[in-house]
């Protein structure tokens, strides 16, 4: 059971929690859609990273789509997944050698997209965990 009641605004249980602040919900949803569906990095890679983060963040609703698949083996995906693993373990204390690996394998646009996706997804999942959002939430 969530820590607050659902609002009448929003299409998903997550959005209905944010819906108590409708402008926030709309802006949050637009940014979420942009990060998930746009950009240079594949949707499959972003979903794999989202699943990785979900295992760490304690949001049961976020974990409902399952464990990471481990199926992405191309060089760019491996670098991005490795960076996500470092973030999961070290937070914002990313060693310079890891940053150098990013710079050697991704362009600046991709680095911004990756870091933005990871940190925004982390915030979403922390919100879900704090709100005690469950996969079977009716919303």
Cβ of 54: how many Cβ atoms within 10 Å? Answer: 25
Given this model, what pLDDT does residue 125 score? 98
User: For residue 94, what pLDDT band results from cuts at 50, 70 and 90?
Assistant: very high
Q: What is the pTM of this model?
A: 0.95
Tokens of 135: 């996969």
Please say whether the beta carbons of 42 and 110 come within 8 A.
no
Minimal CA–CA distance to 121: which of 98, 94, 87?
A: 87
Name the residue among 1, 2, 21 with its Cα closest to residue 10: 21
- Domain at 13-131, CATH from 3.90.550.10, 3.20.20.80, 3.50.50.60, 1.20.1290.10: 1.20.1290.10
pLDDT class of 138 with cuts at 50, 70, 90: low
Summarised one tens digit per residue, pLDDT across range 5-43 is: 999 999 999 999 999 999 999 999 999 999 999 999 999
86-109 burial string, b = 16+ CB within 10 Å, else e?
A: bbbeeeeeeeeebeeebeebbeee
pLDDT tens for residues 43-90? Answer: 999 999 999 999 999 899 999 999 999 999 999 999 999 999 999 999
Give the residue extent of every domain in the chain: 13-131
Is residue 139 very low, low, confident or very high in pLDDT (cuts 50, 70, 90)?
low
């Amino acid at each position: 059971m969530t820590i607050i009641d659902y609002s009448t605004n929003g299409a998903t249980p997550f959005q209905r929690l944010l819906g108590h602040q409708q402008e926030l919900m709309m802006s949050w949803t637009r940014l979420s859609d942009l990060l998930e569906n746009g950009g240079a990095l594949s949707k499959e890679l972003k979903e794999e990273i989202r699943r990785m983060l979900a295992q760490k963040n304690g949001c049961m609703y976020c974990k409902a789509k399952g464990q990471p698949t481990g199926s992405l083996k191309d060089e760019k995906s491996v670098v991005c997944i490795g960076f996500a693993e470092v973030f999961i373990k070290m937070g914002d204390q990313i060693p310079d050698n890891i940053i150098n690996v990013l710079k050697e394998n991704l362009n600046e646009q991709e680095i911004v997209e990756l870091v933005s996706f990871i940190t925004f997804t982390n915030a979403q999942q922390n919100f879900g965990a704090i709100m005690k959002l469950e996969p079977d939430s009716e919303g």
